[in-house]
Every structure is written in C-alpha cells, then in structure tokens.
C-alpha cells in the first residue's frame, strides 16, 4: 500500500467551522489534498476510519450560513468522481440521563420537580421530615435512609453502609450479588473501562489511583485531558459520577466503593460542546484495542416524541468496535435505557439502545419496581438499581471538587453499574467476546422480586420483560458462569424482505406474516430486528408487536401520547432480545395497531435474525 504523506496545514478550527467527512474511491495523497483545497477550500484535518477523512471547510462565515451556498457545495462534492460519499457535519441534540423533569409546572402541587441544573428534588409542599445536611446540597432532601448492617464484606469507606444496591447486609432483601463476585477474588483487576460523557475529574480522591490516561481523551477541546469544565452549577458532574460507580477506590476512608473497584477507568469528554456524528464516532472508536468496555449514559431527547439514533459514522464505529476491538473479541458497549418513562417514551425509538451492539440497561428502585423515569422496550437486556420516588435512596458515588453524593440517579446510574459487573466477568474470563457477555447476562439475570405485569416466558421458557429485560443482573452468578463459559460460535445472519405496500386503516389492527425456513443454519436466535418503513398521520398512535413461531409476543413500539409527527419511520430498526434461544423457522407475524383518525401504510418490512447454529451446553443448565 502506498505510504500516505499529508501536507500539514497550520490552522485552528473554531467551533463554527464547517466540517466535512469524505469517503474516497482511492487513497488520499498529497496531490488530492492540494486538489481538494484548491477546488473546494477543504483543509485536511485527520483520518477517521480507513478511507474516511475529515476536512475543515475554509470559507467566510457569511457563506457558511447560506443554504444556497451549502446546496452548491453539495452538488460539487456529489459530482466529484473521487468522492464516494460525504457528510457535512451537523450539530446533534444529545442529553445526559442523570435526571428528568418528572412533572411540569402546574401539575399536582405535592409532586416533585427536578431542577434543570441540579439533581435536587424541589418539593412544592413544606411538610418535609428528616431533613439533614450533607456535603452536597442535592442531598438535603433525602428523607429516607435504607440502612445496612454489616454484610459479608466491610470497608472503611464512610458511605459503604448506605450502598444498599451492593451491600448484601441491606434490609430490602435483594441485591446485585456483587459481594459474591468479590469473595471469589474478582474486583475488576486488569479490565479497562471508559466513560463517554462530559469529562472525568481524574484527580478525584475516588478515581485518581485507578485513572487510565490511555482510556481518556477530550473531544470537545481535542486534547488528551478529559478534565471537565468547571462552572457554578456543576453541570459537568455527570461523567465523574458515572466513573465513581464503577471504579471508586475501596478502603480509602472516603465516600463509597465502586462495583469494580480495582478496574482501570478513563473518560471521553464529548457532551460539553457541539456534538456531531464524527465526534460520536471518534468516541466510540477510541483506542478499542485497549479499552474493554465503554459506558454511555446519554442519548437523543427522552421527550416521548423523538426518533433518533447513531449516524452513518457512529454506526461504522460500532461495527469496527465489535469486529476489531479487544483484538477481535469485540468492544463491549453499555447504554442507559433512557429517562422518558413518565412521558411514555420507548427506548426502541433510540437507535443507540436498539442496536444489537449495545447492552441496554434499565432501572429498578429499592422496592423492586421499575424506576418512574426508566423507559421500557424490547431491546432492554437487563436492569440494575437506581433511585425512584422522592423518598427513595439514590446511588452513592464520586462528585466534582473531590466530593461525594448520595443522589446520583436516572438510568445514568444503572448503566455504569452494569458495566462494572461486566468488568468483573471479563476479569474472570478474558476470552469472552461481546456476544458471550450478552449470553451471560441473559442466563444469569433473574426476575427475583421485580414487580411487573408483563413478565412472560419466551419459547424456551425463559422469563423476560419489556421493563426489566431478563431481570436484575447477578454479578456472582455471572462470574461463576464466565469461569467455565466456552466462546459461542460465529454469528449468523438471515434477512427476509417483504416489499408489498400494505394499508393499515384508521382505528384498526392489521396482521402481516413472513415465512422463515432453513435460515442459514440458525438454530438459536440472539437478536431480531424488524426494519420498518411506515408512514402515518400521527406516529404516536401506532403500536407494533412481533410474534415468533413459538408464540412469543414482543412489543416493538407502544403508543406515545406526545408523538404527533407525521413522518412515520423510514427503515427504522426495531430490535428485540425476547426470542433469545428460540428457533427462527416458521411463521412470523407483525401486528400493527393504528388508533389514529388517519390511514397508515407499511411500505417495507425487513426481518433480520441474528443467531448461531450451536450454543454451549451451559445454555441449557
């Protein structure tokens, strides 16, 4: 392959710079760099992936604001025979999943409103009891403490006795069985995790000893230091809090203990500035042969009406991660399910959580109920703890300015706990692939005392729920199974396409079918994708179910009362993990309920089944 020598242009790109990613039909050479600059005023910036190159567009600010100018530039780039594909970068709306405005002003006077800037429950009534002072003012309204007795493990960390979600001596009677994994000798040693977020306070008392610079980068300022930007509202606390859940040091006489307290932790600073598809892709693809697990507690707006997901570049980054990360075993991506539960949002409308390459984690409160903010959908694989109602306990973790908080919350708090548990399993078996990890979660997560009216047995008798996935994660059992788990076989893929235009009349239910037979030797299903192109006058008035040949009914989309969009879905991937272990052959049914006053139309239905020919014997134990 010819060596690429790039002429360096000394230029500083501002946040307002127009950035373009090009995919070329040939290798980028010095001559091409000069050619692109002279023809289009493009300055080479960096290589993103193989054949994908990032350029800055050197034009006056006034020109960049002109839609006519962008149209002309689009046409020029489209007509260039050297350019196979290009993408002009646009700002994306992404939100952290640490808190949620549960109620809007004007609703019930005795209900809770969460501040836009702090995770402080501001109560409209004054009959508060048991208010006490803590280090952080977001702890002042915690009015119920779940006390724990000395369990099987003890630490000198002052908040350990309040870590109800880890400590097996706590009164609620069920936990994540993390102390069992520790007792087996697994605390995350040798496992590297990175938090994709708003930064990481690397010198924090809880994190400094486990901080890993090789797992860290600042994409907002384009440098190697992920330190958050400090300001009066402490808005950029999120990444530091998520990191502490995983890697907070034990026995340092400060705060609490992380789930994988001997793991290495880094941070990718992404969320404190403009966010583009290219920046997300760089975060997801950063040092994937070194980082084992990425934890992400953010995504598109959780407003009950948004349908959004990773762009072309981010999807490519996910694929690169699972194909090439961890020396071919696959990078593990853990994602928070979303905080739109109060708005009837559905995490299958979030393309990050509905990806087969991510492990989506939902939230459970201390009473074994789905947290009020947590979204439900068929792509949730399992759940861990978070807070719930105003009187319930939150998650204890590190905070900015070397402080400690008891009020970390949202599905943001659940995903890092899941990532920490996975770190314990990876320490036990370094040969686990990204799919092996998902198998272990399916097999060891259990319903326990989790309250839900939608628990159902799938076609092989395994309980699954749209609220909790396969249940509460169990670290001890996951580690024990990891120790004896052989690698699962090669992932197989089967695609069936139905293109007939079908009408779904207003106020009706329509059933569509597809026949599967001899699906490329797939005998055991893992993931199922229903990729739909569906037009509708009111998108939120649609409900979609998928029924397998064994009769397992998975709700791919529920009604969303705030979604009045008329754009429908264009080749949108609805994903379900509910059929894990079933055989694919037979008749599949797609059931669409349209309760709007407008007809809907199914333009395309593509069913994509992922699975294997054989599963390890342990799958049946």
Catalytic residue among 56, 138, 197, 277: 197
pLDDT at residue 371, rounded to an integer: 93
Q: What would the mean pLDDT of 146-156 be, rounded to a whole number?
A: 72
- Which has more confidence, 500 or 107? 500
For domain 137-484, give the CATH number.
3.40.50.200
pLDDT at residue 116, rounded to an integer: 29
- Which has more confidence, 125 or 239? 239
> CA–CA distance from 195 to each of 225, 245, 281, 397, 474 (Å)?
13, 11, 14, 14, 22
pLDDT confidence tier of residue 392, bands split at 50, 70 and 90: confident
Q: What is the DSSP string of 556-574?
A: EE---TT---S--EEEEEE
Instruction: Reply yes or no on whether 238 is catalytic.
Output: yes
Tens of pLDDT, residues 260-275: 999 999 999 999 999 9
Which pair of tokens denotes residue 265? 């932790």
pLDDT at residue 61, rounded to an integer: 54
* Sheet bearing 508-516, strands edge to edge: 508-516, 586-594, 542-547, 553-557
The answer, yes or no, to whether residue 15 has pLDDT greater than 80, is: no
pLDDT confidence tier of residue 172, bands split at 50, 70 and 90: low
Torsion angle, alpha carbons of 90, 239, 575, 484, to 10: 140
pLDDT at residue 148, rounded to an integer: 61
pLDDT at residue 226, rounded to an integer: 98
User: Which positions ≥6 away from 597 have C-beta within 8 Å?
Assistant: 506, 507, 537, 538
The answer, yes or no, to whether residue 465 has pLDDT greater than 60, is: yes
pLDDT mean across residues, the chain: 88
d(CA 34, CA 20): 16
The answer, yes or no, to whether residue 199 has pLDDT greater than 50, is: yes
Catalytic residue among 56, 138, 212, 238: 238
Residue for token pair 């340092």: 252
Instruction: Reply yes or no on whether 412 is catalytic.
Output: yes
Q: Which CATH architecture has domain 18-88?
A: 2-Layer Sandwich (3.30)
pLDDT at residue 27, rounded to an integer: 93
d(CA 371, CA 374): 5
Q: What would the mean pLDDT of 400-409 be, rounded to a whole number?
A: 93
pLDDT confidence tier of residue 425, bands split at 50, 70 and 90: very high
pLDDT at residue 98, rounded to an integer: 80
Catalytic residue among 216, 379, 412, 536: 412
For domain 492-620, give the CATH number.
2.60.120.260
470 close to 441: Cβ distance less than 8 angstroms: yes
pLDDT at residue 11, rounded to an integer: 34
Domain locations along the chain: 18-88, 137-484, 492-620
């Amino acid at each position: 392959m010819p060596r690429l020598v790039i002429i360096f242009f000394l230029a500083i790109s501002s946040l307002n710079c127009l950035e373009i990613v090009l995919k070329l039909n040939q290798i980028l050479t010095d001559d091409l760099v000069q050619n692109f600059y002279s023809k289009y005023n493009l300055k080479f910036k960096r290589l993103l992936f193989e054949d994908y190159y990032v350029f800055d567009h050197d034009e006056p600010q006034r020109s960049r604001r002109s839609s006519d100018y962008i149209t002309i530039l689009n046409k020029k780039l489209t007509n260039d025979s050297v350019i196979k594909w290009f993408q002009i970068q646009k700002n994306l709306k992404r939100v952290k999943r640490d808190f949620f405005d549960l109620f809007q002003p004007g609703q019930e006077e005795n209900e809770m409103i969460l501040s836009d800037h702090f995770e402080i429950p501001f109560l409209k009534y004054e009959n508060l009891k048991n208010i006490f002072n803590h280090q952080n003012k977001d702890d002042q309204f915690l009015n119920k403490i779940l006390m724990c007795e000395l369990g099987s493990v003890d630490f000198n960390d002052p908040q350990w006795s309040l870590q109800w979600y880890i400590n097996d001596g706590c009164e609620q009677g069920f936990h994540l069985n993390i102390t069992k994994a520790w007792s087996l000798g697994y605390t995350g040693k040798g496992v590297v995790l990175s938090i994709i977020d708003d930064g990481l306070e690397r010198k924090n008392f809880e994190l400094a000893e486990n901080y890993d610079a090789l797992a860290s980068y600042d994409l907002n300022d384009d440098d190697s230091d992920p330190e958050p930007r400090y300001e009066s509202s402490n808005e950029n606390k999120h990444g530091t809090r998520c990191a502490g859940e995983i890697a907070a040091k034990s026995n340092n006489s400060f705060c609490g203990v992380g789930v994988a307290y001997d793991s290495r932790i880094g941070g990718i600073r992404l969320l404190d500035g403009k966010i583009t598809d290219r920046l997300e892709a760089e975060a997801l693809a950063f040092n994937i042969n070194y980082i084992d697990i990425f934890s992400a507690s953010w995504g598109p707006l959780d407003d009950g009406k948004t349908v959004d997901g990773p762009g072309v570049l981010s999807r490519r980054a996910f694929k690169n991660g699972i194909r090439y990360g961890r020396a071919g075993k696959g990078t593990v991506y853990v994602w928070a399910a979303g905080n739109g539960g109060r708005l009837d949002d559905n995490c299958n409308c979030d393309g990050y959580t509905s990806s087969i390459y991510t492990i989506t984690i939902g939230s459970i409160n201390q009473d074994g109920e789905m947290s009020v903010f947590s979204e439900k959908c068929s792509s949730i694989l399992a759940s861990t703890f978070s807070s719930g109602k105003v009187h319930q306990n939150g998650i204890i973790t590190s905070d900015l300015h070397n402080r400690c908080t008891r009020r970390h919350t949202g599905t943001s708090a659940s995903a890092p706990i899941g990532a920490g548990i996975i770190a314990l399993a990876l320490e036990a078996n370094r040969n686990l692939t990204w799919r092996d990890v998902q198998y272990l979660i399916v097999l060891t997560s259990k319903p326990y005392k989790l309250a839900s009216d939608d628990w159902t047995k799938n076609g092989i008798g395994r309980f699954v729920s749209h609220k909790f996935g396969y249940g509460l994660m169990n670290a001890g059992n996951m580690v024990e199974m990891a120790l004896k788990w052989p690698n699962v076989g090669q992932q197989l893929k089967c695609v069936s396409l139905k293109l007939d235009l079908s009408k779904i009349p207003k106020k009706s239910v329509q059933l569509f079918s597809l026949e599967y037979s001899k699906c490329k030797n797939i005998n055991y299903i893992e993931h199922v994708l229903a990729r739909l192109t569906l037009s509708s006058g009111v998108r939120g008035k649609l409900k979609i179910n998928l029924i397998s040949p064994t009769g397992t009914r998975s709700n791919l989309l529920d009604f969303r009362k705030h979604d009045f969009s008329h754009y429908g879905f264009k080749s949108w991937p609805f994903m379900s993990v509910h059929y894990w272990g079933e055989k694919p052959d037979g008749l599949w049914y797609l059931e669409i309920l349209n309760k709007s006053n407008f007809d809907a139309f199914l333009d395309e239905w593509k069913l994509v089944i992922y699975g294997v020919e054989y599963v390890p014997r342990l799958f049946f134990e």
